[in-house]
Amino acid sequence: MAESARHLVEEVFGPRPVRQWVLSVPVPLRFLFASKPEAIGPVLGIVHRVIAGWLADQAGVDRATAQCGTVTLIQRFGSALNLNVHFHMLWLDGVYEPVAARPDKPRLRRARAPTSAQLTQLAGKIAHRVCRHLVRKGWLEGEDESAFLSDSAGGDDGMDGLRMSSITYRIATGKHAGRKVATLQTIPADNGSPEGDAGKVGGFSLHAGVAAEAHESQKLERLCRYIARPAISEKRLSISPQGRVRYQLKTPWKNGTTHVDFEPVDFIAKLAALVPPPRAHLTRFHGVFTPGVLPFALRASLRLFKFAPGEFVRQTRSCVRS
């Protein structure tokens, strides 16, 4: 985790401003992405084209010439060891534009931070395009908010039952299968204001409230370490007096819940649901960070020659095409 974070900070981003964008998807799509990891790549392509186009417009750069870059880390887990496929995207906080007089020195044009209204608009555009794509692929049926998963959305590895139980916080095995996972509420409920600004449309949620300036390398490294962390913290794992596996939440839920309890076999089932399928890459590089898609001068400027062969995952030929 620490090495991965340091590598991203020192060898990928360097002294450049970075903003984190986080996209959460509706429960049915979490199941689809967990069962069909091949569905993630095209969906991320849609997401990145939408955000990249918006960044180019905000920076005042023509979409046809703008170059942006992002690293996406796909997280499969939630705070309660539940299966929750979502996307942490670290974007350069602006776009590169070519400079005719200095082709070896492309200029980074900054973009303003998105407002809540802009995030909502972007989330709506992403939701519409993603659902339209999945309908065409046959994984969704219906339209927009009335869409539902088709029969072909399930996996072929016999894990679908464990996945759905994990996604919906339910017990997967034993005589209590189907019931909600046991929780402990040890503090009063918090009925305060909802969490910070986010765009929410039809189960899609888009956040972009965390950023690090070019000189804030330590802040960026802390952010990278956070999103690259493993699913389980051993420090918060214990055995209750009744012999159940108890896991402490990193942040209490608003209803006062601080721990979740599992029977030992169900705990193993929860871990099994979190394991990604073989050859499912959890880190994706896009735009100027993708090999073979940018001019030599820009690649040299970004110091991208230090990656080991095969470390990149080719994701999209351009993150600015609309």
**Nearest CA-CA partner of 266 in 150, 169, 193:** 169
Say which residue, 192 or 307, is predicted with more confidence.
192
Read off the pLDDT of residues 219-272 as tens digits, 9 standing for 90 and up: 999 999 999 999 999 999 999 999 999 999 989 998 899 999 999 999 999 999
Does residue 306 carry a pLDDT above 50?
A: no
Mean pLDDT for the stretch of residues 213-219: 94
Strands (E), 230-305: 237-239, 245-248, 257-262, 283-287
Q: pTM value?
A: 0.85
> What backbone phi and psi angles, to 5 degrees, belong to 213?
-75, 170
The predicted structure's pLDDT at residue 119: 96
The percentage of the chain sitting over the pLDDT mark of 90, rounded to a whole number, equals 59
- Taking the C-alpha atoms of residue 22 and residue 91, their distance in angstroms, rounded to an integer, is 11
Mean pLDDT for the stretch of residues 142-154: 73
Burial 48-74 (b: 16+ CB within 10 A, else e): bbbbbbbbbebbebebeebbbbbbbbb
Q: Which residues contact 7 (CB under 8 A, 6 or more apart)?
A: none
Does residue 320 carry a pLDDT above 50?
A: no
Mean pLDDT for the stretch of residues 163-169: 93
Give me the amino acid identity at 311: E
Mean pLDDT for the stretch of residues 1-24: 89
Least confident of 15-24, 61-70, 100-109: 100-109
Read off the pLDDT of residues 121-131 as tens digits, 9 standing for 90 and up: 999 999 999 99
Does residue 138 carry a pLDDT above 70?
A: yes
The predicted structure's pLDDT at residue 279: 82
**N- to C-terminal Cα separation, the chain:** 34
3-state secondary structure (DSSP) of residue 84: strand
The predicted structure's pLDDT at residue 218: 94
Say which residue, 165 or 11, is predicted with more confidence.
165
The predicted structure's pLDDT at residue 157: 78
